[in-house]
Amino acid sequence: MYYGFNHNYHPQHNQYSHGGTDWNTHTFREAKSLPDQWVEYIQPLVDRALTEVEEGINLTHLFQEFILSGVLVGQGFTPEQAIEQVEKWEKGESKLLQQSKAMK
C-alpha cells in the first residue's frame, strides 16, 4: 500500500502570477481563483464519475471511490494517480470498496 505524498502538482503552485503577469508565459491576464484552479484540476475525476454513473455503478460505491480520489488529490496525487490508487485498493486490500461495488 502506498501512503506517500506526491507533490507533482497543486493548483496553487501552478500559476506564478503577480500583478496580472503570468511568469510562465509572460502574458498579462486575470489570475484564476484558487477554487477555480482546483475545479479545473479535478475535472478528470468529475468526467470519470459521470461516465461511471452512465454505466450503472451504484451511487454508494461511486461516492466512496471519488471522495477517496479527492482526498488523495488533496494530498498531492494527480487525478489520474488518485483513480489508479483507489482502483488498486478496490481490487486488493479494501473489503469495503469491494462490498460496495458488488451492491446493486
This prediction's pTM: 0.69
68-92 confidence digits (pLDDT tens): 999 999 999 999 999 999 999 999 9
3-state secondary structure of 64: helix
Neighbours of 84 (CB within 10 A): 15
Residue 11: the pLDDT is: 61
Q: Mention every residue, 6+ apart, whose C-beta is less than 8 A from residue 8.
A: 76, 78
